[in-house]
């Protein structure tokens, strides 16, 4: 319609600009995503080549399955009771219908997709740079933020997936020796570093799965059988070694720690509290020994504006932050230990910094955090405040719901209500504000739509991965691996940024399976 009105290919231009806006907006801004999604759909409706659209969609099995999956959300309204939540869910999931429909009905050219990827990488470079600079600027000012607060442009979890996808694009462009491949190599190094530094577990898992999958794909392409088998054995051996090392690292240390003879009282004569059975450790040192709490309370309150029995700026009990920090410095938890703290140390503790190592980012710090989570759980069985342990509680509740609603699920709107009931029935230790949904897209799908919905969801990804392998479309394969890895610890398509990421590139890559040239 607009082409005839203006005498120019206006619809094509709008179609391209919307794709470019989506690529830029994914790391940057939800408003851009919303506007681009609405505009691209309106553009298709105004162009009104519906016969062509239907023909293109029919030959794209992946998009057809995705649209059918979106239709399940309407079927789920039949047996739901919480319509407020159901309609909210439909609004969030709208990109799952709009973007596959638009970009399958009117496929982009390979050149347009490449330009979109370049804009995505540019947006990602700018946003990661701003995040990193702002975080370290705060540190230089003595303000220590939670590492999750480094992400200024949306959820740190969804942003981490975008960074991993950026790493995949730049790695593949580097290996293919694309023009300016050295620049892509630098970007790959930056995105890889950012992924590890930001400590987002789902991002690290997705990155590890991506690297493993690409390595296995490369092995499969080898013609020399002896080399292929040698690399297979090396890969499996490395995997087992890393797995065993992780178990040993995370295992509570109290069984192996030799305490020796412990002093009975502090220099002031206060009798120490010692618990040699405790699994609480910090930097390899036991926390629950040499505790003279009254001395600590008195001396801490003299030096800090935050009372000893109050909360630090991360909403943690400041006394426990203090205990851990003193332990990390190998100081006793008494008046003399407090006296050894500098003013800078006091500020760190008030900020919620639990150890000297916790001031630094990186994967090692994240692993130390996981170790602390397991130690805490081994000590008191309390999962609250620990992301991984809370997920185990979420998954336990999810399995309970599935056992009671295996075939048709609970419907589009009743998911959170079902979880609330499950937590009560299981007598979960989770606090009310931690009683969330599954944090696993596979479980959430089964809970919502039952076994048929789960089978359909899996079918989409099986067909997609088969198409990527058949067409040797490495970037599509990388996207599929990242998406599936993200579904394990997160409800990826339950948020706008996540569902837009999945829906957009699922549609774009699936249309390329029918084109001769790979993006």
Q: Which of 7-11, 90-94, 180-184, 504-508 has the lowest mean pLDDT?
A: 7-11
Residue 162 within a domain: yes
Pair (25, 142) in one structural domain:
yes
Given a contact cutoff of 8 angstroms between Cβ atoms, the answer to whether 100 and 56 are in contact is: no
Structure tokens at 478: 């990388």
Pair (201, 316) in one structural domain:
no
Structure tokens at 183: 């620049």
Pair (133, 53) in one structural domain:
yes
Domain count, the chain: 2
Query: For the chain, percent helix, then strand, then coil, each to nearest 5?
Result: 70, 0, 30
Residue 272 within a domain: no
pLDDT at 257: 65
| Res. 388 pLDDT band, cuts 50 70 90 | confident
Residue 429 within a domain: no
Please name the residue that has the structure tokens 């589009």: 412
pLDDT tens per residue across span 439-497: 999 999 999 999 999 999 999 999 999 999 999 999 999 999 999 999 999 999 999 99
- Which of 313, 344, 359 is a domain's end point? 359
Pair (75, 213) in one structural domain:
yes
pLDDT tens per residue across span 137-152: 887 776 666 677 788 8
- Which of 359, 382, 397 is a domain's end point? 359
CA distances from 218 to 6, 222, 424 (A): 50, 7, 49
pLDDT at 358: 62
pLDDT at 144: 66
Q: Which residue segment(s) compose the domain that 64 sits in?
A: 2-227+436-512
Pair (293, 219) in one structural domain:
no
Closest to 464 (Cα-Cα) out of 450, 449, 451, 481: 481
Pair (197, 79) in one structural domain:
yes
Pair (165, 36) in one structural domain:
yes
Pair (100, 177) in one structural domain:
yes
Residue 333 within a domain: yes
Given a contact cutoff of 8 angstroms between Cβ atoms, the answer to whether 36 and 21 are in contact is: yes
* pTM of structure: 0.85
Q: What is the CA radius of gyration of the chain?
A: 26
Straight-line distance from the first to the last Cα atom of the chain, in angstroms, rounded to the nearest whole number: 30
Has residue 517 got a pLDDT over 50?
A: no
> In sequence order, which residues have a C-beta less than 8 Å from that of residue 207 and are 6 or more positions away?
164, 167, 192, 195, 196
Structure tokens at 332: 């006793």
What percent of the chain is predicted at pLDDT more than 90? 62
Closest to 143 (Cα-Cα) out of 317, 322, 343, 351: 351
Pair (223, 352) in one structural domain:
no
- Cα–Cα distance, 174 to 183 (Å, whole number): 8
Pair (349, 203) in one structural domain:
no
Pair (69, 181) in one structural domain:
yes
- Which of 359, 392, 414 is a domain's end point? 359
Residue 44 within a domain: yes
Residue 169 within a domain: yes
Residue 270 within a domain: no
pLDDT tens per residue across span 370-387: 777 776 676 666 787 777
Residue 510's Cβ-side half-sphere holds a number of Cα atoms within 13 Å equal to 32
Residue 242 within a domain: no
């Amino acid at each position: 319609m607009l082409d005839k009105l203006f005498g120019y290919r206006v619809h094509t231009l709008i179609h391209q600009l919307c794709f470019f806006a989506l690529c830029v907006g994914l790391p940057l801004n939800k408003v851009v995503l919303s506007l681009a999604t609405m505009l691209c759909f309106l553009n298709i409706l105004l162009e009104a080549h519906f016969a062509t659209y239907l023909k293109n969609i029919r030959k794209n099995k992946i998009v057809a399955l995705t649209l059918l999956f979106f239709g399940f959300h309407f079927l789920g309204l039949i047996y739901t009771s919480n319509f407020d939540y159901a309609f909210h869910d439909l609004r969030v999931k709208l990109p799952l219908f709009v973007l596959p429909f638009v970009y399958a009905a009117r496929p982009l050219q390979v050149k347009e997709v490449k330009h979109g990827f370049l804009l995505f990488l540019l947006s990602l470079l700018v946003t990661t740079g701003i995040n990193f600079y702002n975080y370290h600027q705060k540190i230089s000012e003595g303000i220590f933020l939670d590492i999750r607060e480094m992400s200024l442009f949306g959820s740190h979890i969804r942003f981490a997936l975008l960074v991993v996808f950026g790493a995949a694009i730049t790695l593949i462009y580097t290996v293919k020796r694309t023009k300016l491949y050295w620049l892509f190599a630098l970007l790959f190094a930056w995105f890889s570093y950012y992924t590890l530094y930001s400590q987002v577990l789902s991002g690290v898992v997705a990155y590890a799965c991506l690297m493993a999958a690409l390595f296995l794909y490369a092995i499969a392409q080898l013609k020399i059988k002896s080399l292929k088998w040698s690399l297979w054995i090396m890969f499996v051996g490395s995997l087992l070694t890393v797995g065993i090392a992780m178990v040993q690292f995370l295992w509570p240390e109290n069984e192996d720690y030799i305490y020796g003879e412990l002093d009975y009282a502090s220099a002031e004569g206060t009798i120490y509290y010692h618990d040699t059975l405790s699994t609480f450790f910090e930097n390899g040192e036991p926390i629950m020994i040499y505790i003279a709490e009254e001395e600590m309370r008195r001396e801490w309150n003299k030096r800090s504006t935050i009372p000893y029995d109050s909360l630090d700026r991360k909403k943690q009990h400041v006394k426990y932050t203090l205990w851990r920090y003193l332990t990390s410095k190998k100081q006793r938890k008494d008046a003399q230990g407090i006296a050894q703290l500098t003013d800078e140390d006091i500020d760190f503790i008030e900020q919620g910094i639990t150890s000297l190592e916790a001031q630094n980012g990186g994967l090692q710090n994240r692993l130390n955090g996981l170790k602390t989570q397991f130690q805490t759980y081994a000590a008191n069985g309390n999962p609250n405040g620990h992301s991984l342990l809370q997920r185990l509680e979420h998954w336990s509740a999810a399995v309970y719901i599935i056992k009671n609603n295996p075939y048709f699920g609970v419907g589009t709107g009743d998911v959170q209500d079902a979880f609330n009931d499950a937590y009560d029935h299981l007598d979960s230790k989770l606090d009310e504000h931690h009683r969330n949904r599954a944090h696993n897209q596979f479980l959430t799908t089964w809970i919502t739509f039952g076994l048929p919905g789960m089978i359909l969801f899996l079918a989409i990804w099986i067909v997609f991965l088969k198409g990527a392998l058949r067409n040797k479309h490495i970037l599509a394969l990388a996207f599929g691996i990242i998406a599936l890895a993200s579904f394990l610890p997160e409800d990826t398509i339950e948020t706008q940024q996540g569902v837009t990421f999945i829906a957009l590139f699922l549609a774009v890559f699936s249309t390329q399976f029918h084109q001769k040239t790979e993006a």
